[in-house]
Structure 1
Amino acid sequence: MKLYYSAGACSLSPHIALEEAGLKYEAISAPTKTKQLPDGSDYRKVNPLGYVPYLVLDDGTGLREGPAIVQYIADQAPEKNLAPANGTLARYQLQSWLNFIGTEVHKGFSPLFNPAMPAEAKKLSADRLLERLKWVDGELAGKTWLMGQDFTVADAYLFTVTNWAKPMQLDLAPFANLSAWRERVAARPAVQRAMKAEGLL
């Protein structure tokens, strides 16, 4: 498998999942700004949309969109419990988390990264984002991980996007459960390996 990633972007989530799953893969840098691969070719020839993550399977099939990619990875190593079994209520709860993180948190950061966005719009976006994270903080009360006792691909995704809080000057300190959870995720060896590979540590 080949994972196309951009350092620190949302592709860190499947990068962590691959490390957690212990699968064989090649990570290929596809910077979102330049879209230039290490061999000098245009990343858009691989993924016409030009964004990451993008996973190429051993048979050459491409898979895009982080929440789909991380579930595929989890299903290749079921013994790691990175996702509950397909067809179970717990699997739908995992998908609920992945959708929430993707639409309410990940996309909530987008206006903050946009230099053309007016300050007032950024403030509205930041306030809404902090409301969502306050809710997540409540959901983490008394839990080790988002789904309870098992670390799942949802934890990897939420960790990845909440990493953007600091550069965007969002203070997560008031959220004690979220902050403690982030420390637990950051301490995982697989997370450290993925972050080190992307030059983030």
Structure 2
Amino acid sequence: MKLFYAPGACSLSPHIVACEAGIELELCKVNLKDKKTESGGDYTEINPKGYVPALQLEGGELLTEGPAIIQFLAEQKPEKNLAPEYGSLAHYRVLEWLNYISTEVHKAFVPLFWDGRDEEKADAREKLAERFQYVEDNLNSDYLMGDDFCIADAYLFTVYSWCDKVGVDTGSWPKLKAFAERMSQREGVQKAMKDEGLI
């Protein structure tokens, strides 16, 4: 399988999940500004959406959207227990977290990354403070779902890592800070970050 990624972008979360699962991926870096792959190809011919991540499967099919990709990767290695069993309440709790991170946290960063107007940026920082405070208030164990890592943790770690880059003050979230430190020590996280040149 081939993962189309941009270093440190939201594609980091499926990269982390693959490393945690022990799944070898072929990596293809994408320049998101000019929509070119590292070999110079037109990325929009691969993924018409024009953004990462995209996962090209062995049969040539393309899977897009981070939450779908990380669920798919986890299900390739069920013995790794990276996602709760389908049909369990815990499964839907993970989906709940993935949707919250995707729609309420991830999307709120857009004006900060893509040259929003000053008022849009201020509004984005206010929203992010509220959204991350919700996570802080509900992060009552080492990871989102308890004592064990799951796929939602990879996504949370990825979006939280953007805060310093765009000037979001994280000082009032000690549990999130401890979570990020714990995540950064995981072997799978370190491998993904090294592969992407982030450490």
Alignment: residue pair count: 199
Aligned-residue offset at 1:57 = 0.8
Match of 1:152 in 2: 150
Match of 1:178 in 2: 176
Give me the whole-angstrom Cα distance separating, in 1, the residues matched to 2:173 and 2:181.
Answer: 12
Residues 132-169 of structure 1 deviation map (CA, whole Å, 9 limit, x = unaligned) = 1111111113x010000220110000100111100111
Residues 90-121 of structure 1 deviation map (CA, whole Å, 9 limit, x = unaligned) = 11100000000000100011111121x22122
Within-5 A mapping of 1:24-173: 24-115=24-115, 117-141=116-140, 143-173=141-171
Query: Structure 1 stretch 18-27 or stretch 37-46: which is displaced more?
Result: 37-46
TM-score using structure 1 length: 0.96
Q: 1:122 to 1:90 in 2, by over 3 A?
A: same
Partner SS for 1:167: helix
What letter is aligned with 1:147? M
RMSD value, Cα: 0.9
Query: Contact conserved, 2:111 with 2:117, CA < 8 A, in 1?
Result: no
What letter is aligned with 1:178? L
Query: Contact conserved, 1:7 with 1:31, CA < 8 A, in 2?
Result: no
Residue 186 of structure 2, aligned match among 185, 188, 192: 188
Give me the whole-angstrom Cα distance separating, in 2, the residues matched to 1:74 and 1:12.
Answer: 15
Aligned-residue offset at 1:172 = 0.8
Give me the whole-angstrom Cα distance separating, in 1, the residues matched to 2:119 and 2:43.
Answer: 34
Aligned-residue offset at 1:39 = 2.1
Aligned-residue offset at 1:17 = 0.6
Give me the whole-angstrom Cα distance separating, in 2, the residues matched to 1:29 and 1:121.
Answer: 29
Residues 18-46 of structure 1 deviation map (CA, whole Å, 9 limit, x = unaligned) = 10010122111112112212222111111
Query: Contact conserved, 1:36 with 1:42, CA < 8 A, in 2?
Result: yes
Aligned-residue offset at 1:79 = 1.2
Aligned-residue offset at 1:185 = 0.5
Residues 164-194 of structure 1 deviation map (CA, whole Å, 9 limit, x = unaligned) = 1001111112111111011000110110110
Partner SS for 2:70: helix
Give me the whole-angstrom Cα distance separating, in 1, the residues matched to 2:114 and 2:77.
Answer: 37
Give me the whole-angstrom Cα distance separating, in 2, the residues matched to 1:58 and 1:40.
Answer: 22
What letter is aligned with 1:67? P
Percent identity of paired positions between Structure 1 and Structure 2? 50
Give me the whole-angstrom Cα distance separating, in 2, the residues matched to 1:7 and 1:171.
Answer: 22
Partner SS for 2:37: coil
Query: Contact conserved, 2:157 with 2:180, CA < 8 A, in 1?
Result: yes
